[in-house]
Amino acid sequence: MNNILETTKLENYPIFKNLDENEVQKFSSQIKLKKYNKNEIIIQEGDEGDSILFLIDGDINISQALTLYTNKDNKLDDREKEIIRLSSKNNNISLGEISIFSIEKKRSATVKAIKDCQIGILEFDDLFKICNNNHTIGFKVMQNISKIITEHLIKSNHKVLKLTTAFSLLIDN
């Protein structure tokens, strides 16, 4: 397989919504393909985020560290909490959008290959270069990224509300 991602594969990813084939091609020519083996870490929570990743083929597990003091000795419990499993068969999944606008540029979760995976990697520098060179494309892409991040925030808010409610009920009983 060549190292360049076909434009037609990218057109269905939400980040490229409302872009025509020529506009998407500007990005596909900058995306590098990388293979990850089963159980290999793709992204490590806390590492610097400098790219958006596209799940081209395979299955992944997204998790976050549970950093809680769980006993009287103040020992830290640093187990991983699986958040979600995703497959390239069901979704056009991109990862790393939050790092674009984060002040610290840190990855917010760990991503691990459940099966052998193929990932497309678009460096932020390349993304911004394309967006700066064509403001129409830049506007569309930034609008799409804003929508993706907003959806993440809405889902997170719902989860916090559920956890707060459950904790409140537990305390009341």
How high is the pLDDT of residue 80?
58
Architecture in CATH for domain 7-172: Sandwich (2.60)
- Buried residues in 56-79 as b, exposed as e (16+ CB within 10 A): bbbbbbbbeeeeeeeeeeeeeeee
Q: What is the mean pLDDT of the chain?
A: 86
Q: What is the pLDDT of residues 72-113, one digit of tens each?
A: 565 555 555 667 788 888 789 999 888 888 888 889 889 999
Please give the order of strands across the beta sheet that includes 41-43: 41-43, 110-113, 59-65, 80-87
Sorted by sequence, the CB contacts under 8 Å of residue 113 that are 6+ apart come out as: 36, 37, 38, 39, 40, 41, 42, 58, 59, 60
Q: Which of 67-76, 127-136, 150-159 is the most confident on average?
A: 127-136
How high is the pLDDT of residue 1?
41
Sign of the torsion angle spanned by Cα atoms 122, 123, 129, 132? positive
Q: Domain ranges in the chain?
A: 7-172
Question: Could you give the C-alpha distances from 29 to 78, 119, 133, 145, in angstroms and in order?
Answer: 40, 15, 15, 19
Q: How far apart are the C-alpha atoms of 92 and 88, rounded to whole Å? A: 6
Q: How confident is the model at residue 138 (pLDDT cuts 50, 70, 90)?
A: very high
Sorted by sequence, the CB contacts under 8 Å of residue 74 that are 6+ apart come out as: none
- Mean of pLDDT values over 23-29: 94
- What does DSSP assign to residue 19? -
